[in-house]
Amino acid sequence: MASKAQKKIGLAVLGWVVALLVFFPLIWMALAAFKTEIDAVSSPPKVIFDPTLENFNAVFERVNYGNAVFNSIVESVGATLICLIFAAPAAYAMAFFPGRKTKDLLMWMLSTKMMPAVGVLVPMYLIFRSTGMLDTRTGLVIVYTLMNLPIVVWMLYSFFREVPKEILEAARMDGARPRQQLLLLLLPLSLPGVMSTALLSIIICWNEAFWSINLTASNAAPLTQLIASFSSPEGLFWAKLSAASLLAIAPILVFGWVTQRQLVRGLTFGAVK
């Protein structure tokens, strides 16, 4: 029998190994971003090297980083807000006035997330082309909204279910209409949950690459599309690609760091009850 202390050490080691495995590509990318192209591909890999900023200069010269950051923010925040506007009433109705089919409806919504996106790429592309939404922020916001709605509804649904039913009944007795129940009671009462839902949605949008690469080119291109543009037919430039990637993930990394407490609470919600 392993003692408690041994178990603890074992778990700690396991934790570190997993963390390193997850973190290694990020570290490697961050290092590569400061290497010259030759250092970046040298074998055996160089751990000690002369750091350089030339990759970043190259990235800034070649692409409009500011525009991509702006697009990423507008698209992820915009889609998230629209998601919340649609999802909150839906979750309210499902949490407090469930019908016979509510569970099925929720499962169906989730099932749409299981379909590979590429399955609808061609129709989506054609729709975007004929409606003139290719490479527009509006188009991408619409796609992101649809993409995240099921998750946002699900999360809000579970947060709303935490609010005692009697509170809404008391509000009904007091004359609160559904909109007032939602705005004056449910949202303030489940604010931490709503916040973490919004954070998660923003992060998912920010990291989304499939639709942004296929439906945008330059005007509406977010950071993910910007990274992809560096793996071009001209050949791979590891160092520049790494620099671009680092620039792309930096904002969301900082954002995630700042809001991690909120996020963890949201993601583990209901798991420890």
Partner 1 sequence: MATVALKSVKKSYGDINIIQGVDLDIQDREFVVFVGPSGCGKSTLLRMIAGLEEITAGELKIDGKVVNDVPPDARGLAMVFQSYALYPHMTVANNMGFALRLAGVPKAERDAKVKDAARILQLEPLLQRKPGQLSGGQRQRVAIGRAIVRQPKVFLFDEPLSNLDAALRVQMRIEIARLHSSLAATMIYVTHDQIEAMTMADRIVVLRSGKIEQVGTPLELYHYPANVFVAGFIGSPKMNLVPVKVQSAGADGITIVLPGGGTAMIPVQSSNAAAGSAATLGVRPENVAISADGPIAGEITVVEHLGGETLVYVNVGEGPFITVKAGGDSAANVGARVRLSLKTDEANVFDTNGAAMVPKVRKPLADLEKRGH
Closest to partner 1 by CB, 104 vs 169, is 169
Closest approach, Cβ 92 to partner 1, in A, equals: 16
Alpha helices in the chain, H assignment, sequence order? 4-33, 37-41, 54-62, 65-96, 102-111, 121-130, 137-160, 165-173, 178-180, 187-189, 191-207, 210-215, 223-228, 238-258, 260-267
* List 52, 172, 178, 228, residue binding partner 1 (CB under 8 A): 172
Closest approach, Cβ 184 to partner 1, in A, equals: 8
* List 77, 176, 203, 228, residue binding partner 1 (CB under 8 A): 176
Closest to partner 1 by CB, 173 vs 272, is 173
Mapped onto helix, strand or coil, the DSSP state of residue 115 is coil
Instruction: Locate 256 and state its tokens.
Output: 């995630």
Closest approach, Cβ 262 to partner 1, in A, equals: 18
Q: Tell me which residue has tokens 């590509």.
A: 25
Closest approach, Cβ 269 to partner 1, in A, equals: 18
- Contact code string over 139-168 relative to partner 1, x by CB under 8 A: -------------------------x-xx-
Tell whether residue 101 is a contact of partner 1 (CB under 8 A).
Answer: no
Instruction: Locate 122 and state its tokens.
Output: 């061609």
Closest approach, Cβ 3 to partner 1, in A, equals: 43
Nearest residue to 248 (alpha-carbon basis) of 26, 83, 61, 41: 26
* List 66, 119, 175, 233, residue binding partner 1 (CB under 8 A): 175
User: In this structure, are residues 33 and 51 in contact, taking their beta carbons and an 8 Å threshold?
Assistant: no
Closest approach, Cβ 163 to partner 1, in A, equals: 9
Q: Residue 236 belongs to what H/E stretch?
A: strand 235-236
Number of residues forming the site for partner 1 (CB under 8 A) = 15
Count of CA atoms in the C-beta half-sphere (13 A) of 93: 12
Closest to partner 1 by CB, 45 vs 99, is 99
* CB atoms closer than 10 angstroms to residue 265: 13
The interface with partner 1 within residues 183-212 (CB under 8 A) comprises: 185, 188-189
Instruction: Enumerate binding residues for partner 1 (CB under 8 A).
Output: 164, 166-167, 169-176, 180, 185, 188-189
